[in-house]
Amino acid sequence: MSNQDHHHEETFISKYIFSLDHKMIAKQFLLTGMFMGIIGVIMSAFFRLQLAWPDEGFPILETFLGKWAPDGVMDPNIYLALVTIHGTIMVFFVLTAGLSGTFSNLLIPLQIGARDMASGFMNMLSYWFFFLSSLVMIISLFVSSGPAAAGWTIYPPLSALPQAMPGSGLGMTLWLVSMSLFIVSALLGGLNYIVTIVNLRTKGMSMTRMPLTMWAFFVTAILGTLSFPVLLSACLLLIFDRSFGTAFYLSDIMIQGEILTQTGGSPILFQHLFWFLGHPEVYIILLPALGITSEVVSTNSRKPIFGYKAMVGSILAIAFLSFIVWGHHMFMTGMNPFLGSVFTFTTLLIAIPSAVKVFNYLTTLWRANIQFTPAMLFSIGLVSTFISGGLTGLILGDAALDINVHDTYFVVAHFHIVMGLSAIFGMFAGVYHWFPKMYGRMMNKSLGYAHFWITFISAYGVFYPMHFLGLAGVPRRYYSNTAFPMFEGLVEINELISVFAILGVVAQLIFFFNFFYSIFRGRQSSQNPWRSNTLEWTTPVERIHGNWPGELPTVHRWAYDYSKPGMDEDFVIQTTPLKDGEEEGH
Amino acid sequence: MENLLTILISLLAIIALVQLVRIFELATKLKGQQEIEISDKENHYNGLALLIVGFGFVLFVAYSFKLWGHLILPESASLHGIQIKLLWDTTMYLILFVFFITQPLLFWFSYKYRGKKNNKALYQTHNNKLEIIWTSIPAVVLTALVVFGLKTWNNVMVPDTSNAMVMEVYAMQFNWTARYSGEDNKLGDANYTLIGGINTLGVDINDSASSDDIITREIHLPVDEQVLMKFRSQDVIHSAYMPHLGVQMNCVPGMSTQFAFTPIKTTSEMRKELKNEEFDYVLLCNKICGSAHYNMQIKVIIETKQEYLEWMSQQDNFNTLISR
């Protein structure tokens, strides 16, 4: 893209709707992700009402769910639909598109010193496919047989047979269409991110001078482009099974008194294909959050990130391992025990790079000069949840121990803490930190503090007690526990969880208020409000197409020269040439 | 009308909030505070809060085992459960050890190194020795854990089943059926195309092994005897989960799966241990399977061999069932 481009007249449509500018596309991803997030989070509040107070009528449920909640009592089918769509929305629409889509788009060109993405047009398509996908997913909520309800993992035959449950009717078809569109969006975005990082780094920005955010987004994009196509094929084969009578996943089935003609397929095949994406997906969600945290922690510790090369190495190691561990989701499918052994081995290996990352974060904080911005608080929250949730992975990844906690609330606790909370904390950190870059204004700090503290406490309040539900043997995706005398003692703990859940949901209103208030009325930001080293803070506050008004910046040092002795300030922007005799860090 | 009022009130509340925040921001501006920079006071209070909340959380985790420990399933009622328990305890102590070191460090560092205007952070980029230490220690510990885990897994999943009693648990939306192999200890062939009428499991009448099979709606197991449980499903994937026995296996249509185990506590022993006269073992569905997934269960009774044989003698075998 040439220098003159930003003199173009921009119409309303080309500026705000079909924009080719990565900064605008980032905001589009963020706003759409936030909108989907509201739906996903409200759903969780609804099913928490049901779990804590089963059989009790809540008028609000009837208002929102209509015929699915007569007299405010939730129907079992809509319960399953809610957990399914909650999972789908949070995993894909919020924490993949909303997180990666927003910050990869915003930061990649800005932090490597490029005028825009390699292909602005592909980037625009990526957003609009995501928009369409969201639209289809939302439409699926309103079909008369209800939305998809087979769990976010949509295992066939349950998801393949409309006879098996109402949610496997039109709702499931729309789910599959929506996800296929979503994957197209993820691939268009991912390819663009990779090409941009490889080709468009400015002069002096070698790979080893890139901020860790760039490494995280780069590796995430590679993970996505390698694994999402596999999910697309899984979805397409499922569409064939559902609509064209093929038998990829179906065999020997009699349902509702009807003997199906399909034979020879394997339901387990779907699980292999699904988790071949599904496990890397966990890291597609987590790595960007860790990348954001590395940047935020270093900046606000006023201290270089400790062990830059070890951090890059562990990102690469985690990414590599994430491709060979998918079987740990399937220990109980009756797989050959030898295969279980292999997956146990590879899974537990992930603990090593993860531990390295944690120790490096801790050492970064050691003898730092920590500035507690809301972003920094969320980043520290992330490190805490990453430890808490990561550790229980040692149990679930060990096939022998998995036998008795597989598919129980222990799993729900584990993945919500290690992946859900960590990623959403990373996303909040990113929003607070780069809000000035997006809107040229600051978010309100005090509201940010209130938001963090209520969210942090209620998050642990929701998910920590769930470990005990799991250890008591409570299966996930149960509409109610009342059918089993052995779960009678768990009523109070379920109520406690729901109270924290509702508190946590309400606390997000603070965030949304702060976000929209600050867009219009927030304090004007200065050019480099966090006194940060990276290139995005050398662009003018006012958004311009092409990012830098004149020449592209030239990079002379790595991104983490904070509190370097012999410097006037406690930060040195990457464009500052090395002084005579000065050694480059890392 | 009511909805309109709700919307109006919410709107007013939002406007009030906007004005409040506005006033607050103007006030800080008047006081001449540089709003963007974090003041020492803010650093102090947030650091302190992290210390208190963080340590509070860590202490609560320690206390939670006392508070909620009684909710955890009792010691496994099957033989392999005892092997697994050793691995479980080892892993659990390791997890808690790491947890109680890293979390307090995180919150302590956050407090201890909270920012102050005149402080300067240490410029420290890396330390290869440290990196090697904290890569190799987890590597060694995990190697031990992997070896221990694999040994346990193989012992549990690949036991010698030559003398085990063979039986089948059959899953369909939304109930379970048990089929015992009878005197020949061999299950008759079964096929979903043969399902019909009273033959709900599709057992093949022409297979000689099927005539003495016994179909029941309760699972009875003799204590201290190994059972090889086979699983089939009629429609969608289910998962047979017996939490107290530490048994779980998916039931997949078109495929046969199995799990071998030895129960070691009878129902009445367990009732005594739990001080609960109502207690019963249960096999429940642990893979989402449809609207009544949450209530797909079958009672499991573990009893002495004598009681078991007595119960078994009262059941009709497949031949009698069909010819009736």
Distance from CA of B58 to the nearest CA of A (A): 10
Query: Could you check whether the bond before residue A157 is cis, i.e. omega within 30 degrees of 0?
Result: yes
Asked whether the beta carbons of residue A164 and residue B290 sit closer than 8 angstroms, the reply is yes
Q: Which of A29-33, A62-66, A188-192, A226-230 has the lowest mean pLDDT?
A: A62-66
Q: Two tokens at B16?
A: 């009030």
| Chain length of chain A | 586
Residue A10 pLDDT: 72
Tell me which of B14, B123, B199, B256 to substitute to probe the interface with A (most A C-beta atoms closer than 10 Å): B123
Residue A3: the pLDDT is 46
Interface check B154 vs A, CB under 8 A: yes
Query: Does A258 contact chain B (CB < 8 Å)?
Result: no
Instruction: Tell me the pLDDT tens digit for each residue of A397-434.
Output: 999 999 999 999 999 999 999 999 999 999 999 999 99
Phi, psi (rounded to 5 degrees) for B296:
-105, 100
What is the per-residue DSSP string for A536-577? GGGS-SS--TTSSSSSPP---S-S--BS-TT-SSSB--TTSP
User: Does the pLDDT value for residue A271 go beyond 90?
Assistant: yes
Q: Which residue of A has its CA nearest to B152?
A: A400
Indicate the DSSP class of residue B263: B
Of B213, B93, B229, B100, which is closest to residue B159 (Cα–Cα)?
B229
Which residue of chain B has the CA closest to A403? B248
> Please, is A239 exposed, middle or buried when counting C-beta atoms within 10 Å of its C-beta (0-12, 13-18, 19+)?
middle
Higher-pLDDT residue of B12, A507 = A507
Interface membership of B135 toward A (CB under 8 Å): yes
Question: In this structure, are residues A448 and A398 in contact, taking their beta carbons and an 8 Å threshold?
Answer: no
Average pLDDT over chain A reads 94
Nearest residue on chain B to A162, alpha-carbon basis:
B290
Q: What is the pLDDT of residues A76-105, one digit of tens each?
A: 999 999 999 999 999 999 999 999 999 999
- Best residue of A154, A309, A359 to probe chain B, by most B CBs closer than 10 Å: A359
Q: What is the value of ipTM here, to two decimals?
A: 0.94
For residue A565, is pLDDT > 70?
yes
Instruction: With CB atoms and an 8 Å threshold, state whether B71 touches A472.
Output: yes
B101: contact with A, CB 8 A cutoff: no
Check CB contact of B146 with chain A, cutoff 8 Å: yes
Greater pLDDT, A367 or A55: A367
Q: Among A151, A306, A356, whose Cβ lies nearest the Cβ of B288?
A: A151
Contacts of A190 (CB under 8 A, 6+ apart): A220, A221, A222, A224, A225, A228
Closest C-alpha to B87, from B136, B139, B147: B147
Give the list of residues 6+ apart from residue B140 with CB closer than 8 angstroms, or none: none
Chain A CB within 8 Å of residue B209 CB: no
Each residue's pLDDT, cut to its tens digit, for chain B (324 residues) gives: 677 888 888 888 888 888 888 787 777 777 655 556 889 999 999 999 999 999 999 999 999 999 999 999 999 999 999 999 999 999 999 999 999 999 999 999 999 999 999 889 999 999 999 999 999 999 999 999 999 999 999 999 999 999 999 999 999 999 999 999 999 999 999 999 999 888 999 999 999 999 999 999 999 999 999 999 999 999 999 999 999 999 999 999 999 999 999 999 999 999 999 999 999 999 999 999 999 999 999 999 999 999 999 999 999 988 888 887
From the list A76, A307, A586, the residue facing B294 with the nearest CB is A76
Candidates B35, B39, B61, B109, partner chain A, best to mutate (most A CBs within 10 A): B109
> In the structure encoding, which two tokens stand for residue A28, read together?
């589009």
Contact A217, A103 (CB under 8 A): yes
Least CA distance to B92: which residue of chain A?
A: A395
Residues of A in contact with B77 (CB under 8 A): none
Residue A1 has pLDDT above 50, yes or no: no
B322 touches chain A (CB under 8 A): no
Chain B: residue whose CA lies nearest to A154 = B288
> From the CA of B242, how many Å to the nearest CA of chain A?
8
- B38·A521 Cβ contact <8 A: no
Per-domain boundaries in chain B: 1-34, 38-78+95-115, 165-323
CATH number of the domain located at residue range(s) B165-323 in this protein:
2.60.40.420
Query: What residues 247-266 of chain B have any CB closer than 8 A to a CB of chain A?
Result: 247-250, 252-258
pLDDT of residue B281: 97
Q: Which one of B88, B115, B250 has the shortest CB-CB distance to A334?
A: B250
What percent of chain A has pLDDT above 70? 98
A308-342 pLDDT tens trace: 999 999 999 999 999 999 999 999 999 999 999 99
CATH numeric code, A22-247+266-538? 1.20.210.10
Top pLDDT among A5 and A524 is at A524
Report the length, in residues, of chain B.
324
DSSP string, B13-62: HHHHHHHHHHHHHHHHHHTT--SSSPPHHHHHHHHHHHHHHHHHHHHHHH
Give me the residue from B98, B191, B287 closest to A391, CB to CB: B98
Three-state SS annotation for A387-432: HHHHHHHHHHCCHHHHCCCCCEHHHHHHHHHHHHHHHHHHHHHHHH
Residue that wins the pLDDT comparison between B282 and A55: B282
Question: Per the CB < 8 Å rule, is A407 touching B241?
Answer: yes
Beta carbons of B89 and B75 less than 8 angstroms apart = no
Q: State whether residue A468 sits within 8 Å of chain B by CB.
A: yes
Residues of B in contact with A78 (CB under 8 A): none
Domain ranges of chain A: 22-247+266-538
3-state secondary structure of A303: coil
Query: Which pLDDT score is estimated for A2?
Result: 43
